[in-house]
Every structure is written in C-alpha cells, then in structure tokens.
C-alpha cells in the first residue's frame, strides 16, 4: 500500500475562494521538488515565503524521507504562511515504480488546490510538475527550474544521454524555463537543443542581512569546507591538496569539514590514509555563518555545480574563498573569475590555497569585500522572486495568445 501524503497545514482553499483585488493576478502556486536539502531547498523556501508575503497562495509538494530535523523545522516554520499546504510523501532520487504513486498523489492535490502555476524544481520535481494530470478544467502554467540536476551528469555517459532525451520529451509540456544560471541554460541548449518555449534566467538571490560581516572565532582553523559529503563535490581532491602541501611544502593546514552525505565514511577513511586525521575535523551540518566564523578561508573544490548558495552566502559575508571553475560559479565571481581553479586538479588547488592563506591579510579582506559588493548588485532575493512571478505571467500571456 502506498504511503499516504503528510500535510502540515489544512487542505487547500476551494476553487471559488474570493480573489484579492490587485493589479496583478493572485497566483495559486504549487512548488514540486524532491529532497528538502541543500541549495534547491533554500531556493524554494525563499521563493515560497516571498510569494506568500506578496499575497499569493502557495503550497509545497516534496519528499518525506530526506532532510531530517533541519528540513522539518524549516517546513514547520514556513507552513503557517502556505495556504495550499505542505504535502510530503516518499520519493526516490532515481526513476522507480513508486513514482506512479507520487504522481497520483500530486494529481489529487492539483485537483483540490486548482493551482494557476505548477513549478517543478530539480530533475524529479520537473518531471512530476510537467507530467502530472490536472484534469480538463485546469490549465496551469508549468514552470521548470533545473538547479543543475540531470544537466550535471557527465556528458556522453549513458545516464546523461537518457536524461537529456527525457528533457527533450518534457520540453513539450513546459511553458517557461526559469534557469537559475546562464551555465545551465547553456547546457540545455548544448545537450537538449534550441527551444521555442519561453526562457528566463532567474539567478538565485540572497537577503540584505546576509551581507553582515562575519566575526572570526579566536581559535579559527585555516580552512573550511561546507557542503554535501560526496565525491562529486571534489572533497577527495581537497584532501589530496592538503597532503601535497604537507609533502611538498612542509605546510600543515587545518580543515573543518561541515556537512553530511553518502560518502562520509569513505571520506573519513581517505583522511586517515593520507595521514591527515589530526588536521581535518568533521562536523554535521550547521548554520553557515557559524561555520564560516571558524576558519580564515573557505574552499569549494566541486567537480560540478549550478549556482551554489554556499558561495553566494560566503561571498556576501566577505569570506575569503578558493573555488573551482565549474558551473555557474564564474557568474558569481564576475570580475574575480580568473582566480578560479581548474576542477579535479589537486596541484592547482593546493597552490591556490597556499596563495590565499599566505596572502597579506589586508589584501585578502579587500578582495573579499570587492566580491561582496559585486554580489550585492547582482543577486537580490527580492529580484529573484519578482523575476519568477514575471516569468509565470509572460508564460500565461503566451498561452492565451495561442
């Protein structure tokens, strides 16, 4: 028997609920995604909160088996603002027969809530939001934000070819693409092909208060890594870079690793094998500003990314950084992008880390402050919400015009 969905607030309002008087239409938006973790989850929470504050009816549909206590707390705090509720039920990362049960549950939610917009996030969310049957009386705008997802698989691999073919098929059921970076929009063009569907770039955005400076802890370590503990994030390359610095330069740098993930045990074993156990400290996920305060430099060794929030948040707070040149990261660094490091290159990463750690402290602060100013100009949370709503409206006008 399929698990029944868990709803954190009351059932959606009926279809004949009185609309508010406003120049712009009051939307009824259901955001569909899988795992309530990471940057995708933060993006959905921020967008949903701002949409609700602007007077729109908003609901979420997501997985019940991931996220743990942090996701439950975030959803519980958001739920009172979501008139269309929070519906959770188990979802698998990869295609699975249980997807049919999830689609059926989403279809029931859609028929009750009568959304004007179905917005899918990530590969699984985009699949569900675009495939779900809605009944003959409804014609919601179907929006899709990839957040990397299937576009970050290695080009030419069997999974990449399979997922790109799925994206081609699903394009016919997409009214508007709201790409979060120019990079992912480019990946779509390169591997799916040109499209006549509406395309908008809606960059991830952050709040004004996130630009407050970090107060450094007196016993700060040299480096911090914040993110998922999986090999695709390049963490083994970071460990190898530290080993090279010790072996070739006689430098022992300390590293705080903050996060969790499927490869945690493997990564701990790797640290021990490299003789770094005394220099590398593992800790579970925690608020990013608390983690940043405990190290002088943040390192992002990723092999693939879209437009990562962890870099936006650290850059806004003027945290000195070393990062690889992947995905949409150059869009975040802007004029500072030439300092980015090639991915999967331990020697290059070690050199960049050493230069940043040994840099004159005042020059390091000035560089970080310059990047923070660039972020403030380009990555506004309010602008992100406004651009998303404008994308919905433009898609609806196109639908109405045939």
Strand 117-121 and strand 141-145: the pairing is parallel
CA distance 371 to 358: 19
Strand 295-300 and strand 321-323: the pairing is parallel
Q: Which CATH number covers residue 305?
A: 3.40.50.2000
- For 287, the domain range is 209-378
Residue 151 has a pLDDT of 87
Distances (CA, A) of 358 to 160, 253, 297: 41, 11, 11
CA distance 170 to 188: 12
Residue 148 has a pLDDT of 83
Residues 255 and 182 in one domain: no
Residue 150 has a pLDDT of 83
Residues 114 and 67 in one domain: yes
Residues 190 and 72 in one domain: yes
* Cβ atoms 136, 36 nearer than 8 A: no
**Phi (first) and psi of residue 255, to 5 degrees:** -135, 130
Residues 237 and 297 in one domain: yes
Report yes or no on 171 lying in a domain: yes
Residues 60 and 143 in one domain: yes
Residues 387 and 373 in one domain: no
| Per-residue tokens: 112 | 């009750």
Report yes or no on 6 lying in a domain: no
Task: Report the half-sphere exposure of 246 (CA within 13 A, side-chain side).
Answer: 14
Closest of 199, 191, 185, 202 to residue 44, by C-alpha: 202
Residue-level pLDDT, tens digit, the chain, 402 residues: 344 444 444 344 433 333 333 446 899 999 999 999 889 999 999 999 999 999 999 999 999 999 999 899 999 999 999 999 999 999 998 888 999 999 999 999 999 999 999 999 999 999 999 999 998 899 999 999 998 878 888 888 998 999 999 999 999 999 999 999 999 999 999 999 999 999 999 999 999 999 999 999 999 999 999 999 999 899 999 999 999 999 999 999 999 999 998 999 999 999 999 999 999 999 999 999 999 999 999 999 999 999 999 999 999 999 999 999 999 999 999 999 999 999 999 999 999 999 999 999 999 999 999 999 999 999 999 999 999 999 999 999 999 986
CA distance 243 to 246: 5
Report yes or no on 13 lying in a domain: no
- Quick one: CA dihedral 86, 92, 93, 96, positive or negative? negative
| Contacts with 298 (C-beta within 8 Å, 6 or more apart), sequence order | 223, 224, 225, 226, 292, 314, 319, 320, 321, 322
Question: Taking the model in full, what pTM does it have?
Answer: 0.89
| Per-residue tokens: 328 | 């949409």
Residues 60 and 113 in one domain: yes
Report yes or no on 225 lying in a domain: yes
- Quick one: CA dihedral 155, 160, 162, 167, positive or negative? negative
Beta strands in 51-163 (DSSP E): 57-63, 86-89, 117-121, 141-145
Residues 385 and 374 in one domain: no
* Cβ atoms 152, 306 nearer than 8 A: yes
Residues 368 and 396 in one domain: no
Residue given tokens 């698998």 in the structure block: 92
Distances (CA, A) of 49 to 42, 57, 80, 132, 368: 11, 10, 10, 24, 29
| Per-residue tokens: 387 | 């651009």
**Structural domain count of the chain:** 2
Helices (H), 172-301: 182-191, 235-249, 264-273, 288-292
Residues 279 and 163 in one domain: no
DSSP 13-54: PPTTPPPPP-SSPPPEEEEE-S---HHHHHHHHHHHHHHHHT
CA distance 324 to 302: 6
Residue 25 has a pLDDT of 82
Report yes or no on 301 lying in a domain: yes
Residue 291 has a pLDDT of 98
Residues 254 and 150 in one domain: no
CA distance 323 to 330: 10
Report yes or no on 7 lying in a domain: no
Residues 254 and 300 in one domain: yes
């Amino acid at each position: 028997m399929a698990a029944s969905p868990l709803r954190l607030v009351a059932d959606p309002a009926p279809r004949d609920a009185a609309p508010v008087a406003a120049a712009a239409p009051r939307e009824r938006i259901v955001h569909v995604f899988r795992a309530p973790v990471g940057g995708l989850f933060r993006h959905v929470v921020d967008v949903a909160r701002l949409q609700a504050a602007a007077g729109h009816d908003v609901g979420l549909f997501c997985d019940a088996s991931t996220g743990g206590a942090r996701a439950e707390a975030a959803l519980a705090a958001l739920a009172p603002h979501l008139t269309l509720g929070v519906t959770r039920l188990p979802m698998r990362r990869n295609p699975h027969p249980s997807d049919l049960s999830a689609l059926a549950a989403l279809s029931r939610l859609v028929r009750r809530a009568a959304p004007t917009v179905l917005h899918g996030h990530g590969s699984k969310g985009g699949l569900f939001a675009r495939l779900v049957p809605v009944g003959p009386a409804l014609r919601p705008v179907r929006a899709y934000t990839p957040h990397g997802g299937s576009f970050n698989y290695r080009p030419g691999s069997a999974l990449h070819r399979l997922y790109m073919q799925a994206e081609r098929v699903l394009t016919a059921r997409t009214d508007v693409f709201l790409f979060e970076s120019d990079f992912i929009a480019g990946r779509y063009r390169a591997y799916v092909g040109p499209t006549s569907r509406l395309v908008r770039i809606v960059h991830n955005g952050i709040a004004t208060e996130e630009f407050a400076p970090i107060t450094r802890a007196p016993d700060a370590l040299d480096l911090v890594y914040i993110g998922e503990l999986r090999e695709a994030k390049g963490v083994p390359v970071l460990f190898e870079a530290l080993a090279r610095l010790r072996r070739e330069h006689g430098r022992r740098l300390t590293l705080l690793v903050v996060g969790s993930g499927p490869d945690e045990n493997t990564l701990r074993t790797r640290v021990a094998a490299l003789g770094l156990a005394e220099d590398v400290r593992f800790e579970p996920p925690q608020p990013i500003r608390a983690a940043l305060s405990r190290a002088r430099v943040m390192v992002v060794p990723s092999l693939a990314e879209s437009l990562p929030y962890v870099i936006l948040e650290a850059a806004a707070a003027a945290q000195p950084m070393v990062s690889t040149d992947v995905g949409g990261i150059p869009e975040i660094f802007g004029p500072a992008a030439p300092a980015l490091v090639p991915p999967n290159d331990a020697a290059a990463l070690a050199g960049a880390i050493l230069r940043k750690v040994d840099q004159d402290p005042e020059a390091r602060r000035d560089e970080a402050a310059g990047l923070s100013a660039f972020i403030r100009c380009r990555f506004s949370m309010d602008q992100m919400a406004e651009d998303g709503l404008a994308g919905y409206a433009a898609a609806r006008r196109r639908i109405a015009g045939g």
